[in-house]
A and B are shown apart, each in its own frame.
Chain A
Amino acid sequence: QSALTQPASVSGSPGQSITMSCTGTSSDVGSYKLVSWYQQHPGKAPKLMIYEDNKRPSGVSNRFSGSKSGNTASLTISGLQAEDEADYYCCSYAGSSTWVFGGGTELTVL
């Protein structure tokens, strides 16, 4: 069970859209519609942003959207805002009642 692969960093200007990736395998991301995404500000606990690949919890801005193709899931943030600057982690069910996270992507709003 290896960690999911995320780019170390992405950046964008206010108002722009960015997309970050999360690559797994056919044993996790590619096998289940169970990828979730978490936002973590410095010193804070992670916050659920997307679940079941593309569903938004109540209260999460519709600027956040999730998608998936094969073994790679993606998180898109549109209309980038300064408050979106944070670390983002993906997570996938990996079978046999186990879960695997990604290494995280640092989003910088320029």
Chain B
Amino acid sequence: QVQLQESGPGLVKPSQTLSLTCTVSGDSLSSGNYYWSWIRQHPGKGLEWIGYIYYSGTTYFNPSLKSRVTISVDTSKNQFSLNLNSVTAADTAVFYCARAKGSDNYLHSFDPWGQGTLVTVSS
């Protein structure tokens, strides 16, 4: 049973870089069967897809965040990471990592999800 767990600082200062790591257990990032995603949820709001990465390092991002986002993968640790730079209070959110899965040559859903971690941007 695959499980994902987010980790990282819960408080980040404005203009700095938000960095989170997702540790995957029960599945290997190197299996090549999935993409590995970051999704956030502003307090009391809806979900926002940030981007995802394939084990090879191929990445895709939400166009609205693309200029500030980096996602990387460390297959030796079975982890993938998110960096979001130049953060402001508007980036305060719960950040989830999730596995993007599909059939044949396309993805169709996000499952499962990590428990989420709240990151607050404040001085």
Contact = CB atoms under 8 A, between A and B. Distances in A.
B16 interface: no
Given A36-B110, A51-B109, A97-B60, A103 B115 contact: no
Interface in B66-123: 96, 106-116
B27 interface: no
B57 to A, nearest CB: 14
The B interface is mostly helix, strand or loop, or mixed, namely: strand
Contacts, number: 67
Interface string B49-66: 100000000001111100
Contacts of B106: 34
Which interface class (under 10, 10 to 19, 20 to 34, 35 or more) fits B? 20 to 34
A46 B63 contact: no
Interface of A: 1, 3, 6, 34, 36, 38, 44-48, 51-52, 57, 89, 91, 93, 96-104
Interface of B: 39, 45-49, 60-64, 96, 106-116
